[in-house]
Amino acid sequence: MALNRKLKNNDFDFRGVWFPDKLSLENFEFTTKADFRSATFSAMADFRSATFSTEANFGSATFSAESDFSSAAFSAKTSFRAATFSAEADFSGTTFSTQAGFGEATFADYVRFAGAKDHQVFTDTSQLDLQFARIEKPDRLSFHTLSLRPHWFVNIDASKFGFANVNWGRPRINEETSRLERNDTPSPHHLLAIACRNLAVNAEENQRYEEASKFRYLAMEARRRESWRGFAPWRLSWWYWLASGYGERLLQAFVVLMVLLFLFGGMYTRVGFARWEPKVATEADAVFAQRDEVGAPLPFKRALTYSLGVMMLQKPEPRPATPLAQGLVILETILGPVQAALLALAIRRKFMR
């Protein structure tokens, strides 16, 4: 057969070829470039445990029946760009050592990317591209026991995908956006923010609340760093980030609350508080009564409890005697409860059930 002769001669140029019957290349080793661009697989395409030592290109190929790439190994750049998978596609146990491109591909049925405890589908040098892929049934695209990166999901809505036992690592905005920039992706911060919001929706709907919190933070952080390298104190969002990590960082919100407590407590040891209050028994006494308008600073321990009382809206005694002391108390009356509310929000989002 012509197929066997080409395989025997290491001629893997199958551009535009029609495969009317089942193609079984299980355990086959492609030692040179495998080119299946615009090929049509009318029956099952079986590439189980196949090895692709160099580039593999399935761009614009049509898989009309089941395609099985489970346990296959792609050692070089792999492209399924604009390919059409009309039936189930299985990439369980597959290894993509470098770029795996599925941009603009069409998936009509189940698609599985699955690893195992001792096997990773995507390595440290891998990169998955799903940009502008058409997923007709998003809930049938699943990722199980894998290491993934948020920037792999730009320009595609991942809010309905199936994620189970996925390791997202500790993604950093600069690293994620620089990867997109190297791929000439426009507006990397903006697109990363959208991708992370979709991933956050997915995680929250599946009750993975800590993961949802992480993605919400990444989305807000990507937008913040889109201009001025993130330094924009004239924006409310910048203060929201500083105060509590957008309501997502529990420790940060707690530390800022403690800073406010000690900061105002320290300032209360430098401004005047009333040392006495006039005793007014009659209207005549009120005319001649004089308040202490100079006051005296509070001792440090007393200042801390006073600061705590102000935060809790308790109106502690003594009253501020000077305009500066009054201004500080008013400011803490505003900032303290707001920061406490941000701390409560961070706790709720982290442990929401």
* 8-state DSSP, 119: B
* Final residue before a domain boundary, out of 175, 198, 233: 233
Q: CA triplet 15, 95, 41: central angle to 5 degrees?
A: 30
Q: Which of the four pLDDT bands, split at 50, 70 and 90, describes residue 278?
A: low
The pLDDT-based confidence of 285 (bands split at 50, 70, 90) is: very low
Q: Are residues 173 and 199 in the same domain?
A: yes
Please, which pLDDT band fits residue 7 given cuts at 50, 70 and 90? confident
Cβ atoms of 144 and 113 within 8 Å: the answer is yes
- 243 occurs within a structural domain: no
pLDDT at residue 30 tops 90: yes
pLDDT bracket for residue 52 (50, 70, 90) = very high
Give every CB contact of residue 349 below 8 A, 6+ residues apart in sequence: 209, 212, 213, 216, 247, 248
The verdict on 195 and 270 lying in the same domain is no
211 and 309 both lie in a single domain: no
pLDDT of residue 289: 47
pLDDT at 288: 45
3-state secondary structure of 295: coil
pLDDT score of 274: 84
Does 38 share its domain with 177? yes
Most confident of 107-121, 223-237, 339-353: 107-121
Sheet holding 62-63, edge to edge: 18-19, 40-41, 62-63, 84-85, 106-107, 134-135
Based on the domain organization, do 210 and 276 belong to the same domain? no
According to DSSP, residue 299 is labeled P
- Has residue 110 been placed in a domain? yes
Q: Which burial class, exposed, middle or buried, applies to 175 when counting CB atoms under 10 A from its CB (0-12, 13-18, 19+)?
A: exposed
Q: Give the span between the Cα atoms of 23 and 45, in whole angstroms.
A: 5
Where a domain ends, among 199, 233, 267? 233
Top pLDDT among 119 and 144 is at 144
| Domain match, 183 and 319 both | no
Summarize the confidence of residues 165-170 as an average pLDDT. 91
Residue 120 confidence (pLDDT) above 80: yes
Q: Within a domain: residue 240?
A: no
| Same domain (yes/no): 272, 192 | no
Same domain (yes/no): 22, 147: yes
> What pLDDT score was predicted for residue 279?
60
What backbone phi and psi angles, to 5 degrees, belong to 111?
A: -135, 125
| Contacts of 13 by beta carbon, 8 Å cutoff, 6+ apart | 6, 35
Buried b (16+ CB within 10 A) or exposed e, 310-342: bbeeeebebebbbeebeebbeebeebbeebbeb
- Do 332 and 259 have their domain in common? yes
pLDDT in tens, 193-221: 999 999 999 999 999 988 998 999 999 99
- Check residue 227 and report its DSSP letter: S
- What pLDDT sits at residue 347? 87
Q: What is the mean pLDDT of residues 341-353?
A: 82
CATH number at residue 329: 1.10.287.70
Q: Is residue 241 part of a domain?
A: no
Residues 293, 224 within the same domain: no
- Report if residue 86 sits inside a domain: yes
- The answer, as to whether pTM is greater than 0.85, is no
> Quick one: average pLDDT of 61-65?
97
Q: Is 244 contained in some domain?
A: no
290-298 mean pLDDT: 74
Give the tens place of pLDDT for each residue, 218-267: 999 999 988 877 788 888 889 999 999 998 989 999 999 999 999 999 99
Q: Is the pLDDT of residue 1 over 70?
A: no
260 and 209, same structural domain? no
Name, of 60-69, 177-186, 279-288, the range with top average pLDDT: 60-69
Residue 242 resides in a domain:
no
Q: Look at residue 152 and tell me whether its pLDDT is greater than 80.
A: yes
pLDDT at 296 > cutoff 90: no
Query: What is the predicted pLDDT for the residue at 183?
Result: 80
310 and 337 Cβ atoms separated by less than 8 Å: no
pLDDT score at 196: 96
Which residue range is the domain that position 22 belongs to?
2-233
Q: What angle do CA 263, 266, 271 make, to 5 degrees?
A: 120
Mapped to the 3 state alphabet, what secondary structure does 170-193 carry?
CCCHHHHHHHHHHCCCCCHHHHHH
Number of domains observed in the structure of the chain = 2
Final residue of a domain: which of 233, 263, 295? Answer: 233
Instruction: Give me the mean pLDDT over the 47-72 stretch.
Output: 96
**Confidence check: pLDDT of 287 > 60:** no
Q: Are the beta carbons of 105 and 134 closer than 8 angstroms?
A: yes
Q: What's the rounded Cα separation, in Å, for the pair 310 and 317?
A: 10
Structure tokens given for 14: 């199958």
* Same domain membership, residue 300 and residue 152: no
Q: What does DSSP say about strands 141-147 and 111-114: parallel, antiparallel, or unpaired?
A: parallel
Predicted pLDDT at 280: 52
Domain-located, residue 229 = yes
- Structure tokens that stand for 4 in this block: 């066997």
Cα distance between residue 150 and residue 152, in whole Å: 5
